Amino acid sequence: MFATRLLAAAGAVAALLPLSAGAAEPIKIGFPIPLSGPTAVYGTPVLQGAQLAVAEINAQGGVLGRQLELLPRDSKASADEAVRVSRELIIKDGVDFLVGTLTSAEAPAVSTVAKENKIVFIAPTSKATILTDPQHIHPYIFRVSSNTDVEGLAGATLMARWKDVKTVATIAPDYAYGRDSIAAFSANLKKLRPDITIVDQQWPKLGEADFTPFITAQMGKKPDAIYCSLFAGDFITFTKEAKPLGYFKAIDNRMIDPAEVGTTDEAQALGADYPYGIISDSYDPVIWGGADEPAAHKKFIEDLKKFTKAKYASGWTIVGYQSIYALADGIKKAGSADSAAVAKALLGMSFDTPVGERTFSVKSHETFAPEYWGVMVREAAYPFAVMKNPEVLPKSFPVTN
C-alpha cells in the first residue's frame, strides 16, 4: 500500500544519512492483521485506517516530537501466525507497541505475548470476552472494539421487536467469538422474550468452505428467524450457498447478523448476491442517509476516500484509525513511549473518534463501543446494499459489565 511503501522508502533514505544531533528515533508500532485469505476483506481496511491515522499524526509533528512508524504484518487470521509475527516485531524489529489482529483467535494469543514482554497491545476488533475477562486481563491489554456482551444485547433487542417470531435458530463459527456471541444473544433474548425458543444451533468451523450441510439441517427445523454470527469471507460463501436453496426466503429475510456484515466492504464484496432485508451492524455505516452524521465523521470519510483513492469508504477503517489515535493520546498523556507508563495513562482515558468520544474502562480496559444497526436495503444510488436509518445499539453496557 502507498503509505507503507512511503514509510519504507523514507526509512531507506534515512539509513543512508548520518543522524543529526538529538534526532529522535521513531515510535514503532507493530501491526499484525490478516492481509490474505477470506478475512482480508476486513483486515485490509483496518490497516488502512491505522495508516491514515499515522500519516495525519506525523504531518502534525508526530508524538512528543517523534514520528510514528507502522510495521504491518500478515497474521493470516491464524493465532499461531499472529504470535509468530508479534514476537518477531518485538524481538527483531524492536517495536514499542502492538496494535492489531482481527479475530478472537488471534487477539487473546497476542495478548499473552504482550503480557510476557510488558508491551501495550490495543485490539481494534476482537469481541470475545476472554480477551479482557478477570482471568485474562493484564496491565498491557486494551480493547477499542465492542465485545460480545454488548453485541448480544443489541442483537437480542432487535430480535425481540419481531412480535410474531416464536422460534429462532443460530449459526456461528465454532471458536471463541462465535461461542461467546451466541451465548450473549441467547442470555439476553431469554430475558427480553422468554416466549421465544431456540430450536437449532449450527457450528461450522472458521473458514468453512461448504456450508450446505449446515444450511439444510437448519432449514429442516423451520425457524421463524435466524441469528447468524458468520462474518467476512465466511458470510460471503454462506450467502452464495444459502440463497439458491431458499434459505433467506424461508425466514422472510428475518436474519440478524452482529458480525459487521452491514459494512460497505461486505456489501460491495457480495454485490447483487447480498441478502437484502436482513439486519446487520457496522462500527461505521459510512452512508448515513440522514442529518445526524457528525461533522467530524464527514471529514473523516472525505479524508479516507482521498487517502485510499476509493470511490466508497470502508466501514472497518475507523477501528484501525481510532486505535492509533488512542495510543497516541496515551503516549502524550504519559509523556513517554515507555509501555508501563502508557498502560497507566490509558486507564480511564477518554479520546475523540469521528463518531464521538470513547473512554477506556479502568476495570475492564475496554471502551463502550456500541455499533450502528439497520435493515440492509437496495437504493438506486448505490450498486450495493446500504443500511437504512442506522440506529446506535445498545444504549449502555449490559448489566454483566
Cell numbers representing residue 68 in the block? 510514528
Cβ partners under 8 Å of residue 340, min gap 6: 118, 139
CATH 3.40.50.1220: does it fit domain 2-15+23-146+298-359? Answer: no
pLDDT score, position 289: 72
pLDDT above 50: residue 17: no
- Residue 54 in contact with residue 324, Cβ under 8 Å? yes
Is the peptide bond between 275 and the residue preceding it cis, with omega within 30 degrees of 0?
Answer: no
CA 99 remoteness from chain centre:
12
**pLDDT at res. 3:** 40
Q: For residue 291, what pLDDT is reported?
A: 57
Asked, colleague to colleague, whether 2-15+23-146+298-359 and 149-282+371-393 share their fold, the answer is yes
Q: pLDDT for 123-141, tens place per residue?
A: 999 999 999 999 999 999 9
Percent of the chain residues past pLDDT 90, beyond the cut: 91
pTM to 2 decimal places: 0.91
The structural domains of the chain, with segments of one domain joined by +, span 2-15+23-146+298-359, 149-282+371-393
CATH code linked to domain 149-282+371-393? 3.40.50.2300
Neighbours of 156 (CB within 10 A): 26
Task: Decide if pLDDT at 1 tops 70.
Answer: no
- Say how far apart CA 206 and CA 39 lie, in whole Å: 10
